[in-house]
Amino acid sequence: MSEKIITAHHHLTCDLCGHRIQKGTQCRMIRDDFMPFLAFFEHLRCPSAPAVVTDRKPKHPIHTNKQAMALA
């Protein structure tokens, strides 16, 4: 799958939520590598898309030496 951000030249339908992508707005086009005629379009910030975690690293360590010693 190849992914590209394009500007819509005509009204498109989002394949995730089914809402309309307005002409002139930027959207994501996903094209299949094996069948290039098969393309999917979606909003950059789709209203029905699931939440995405941006920071996967916890700010504080979950287990510290103090906690490990207290359990022993």
Going from the first residue of the chain to its last (72 residues), give the mean pLDDT of each consecutive group of 10, the final group possibly shorter: 89 88 91 86 80 57 56 53
DSSP calls for 15-28: TTT-PEEPTTSEEE
Whether residue 71 lies inside any domain: the answer is: no
**Structural domain of residue 14, as residue ranges?**
1-45
The conformational region for residue 18 under phi > 0 = left, psi -120 to 50 = alpha, else beta, is: left
Whether residue 1 lies inside any domain: the answer is: yes
Whether residue 68 lies inside any domain: the answer is: no
| Start-to-end Cα distance in the chain | 50
Whether residue 55 lies inside any domain: the answer is: no
3-class DSSP state of 69: helix
- What is the per-residue pLDDT for 15? 86
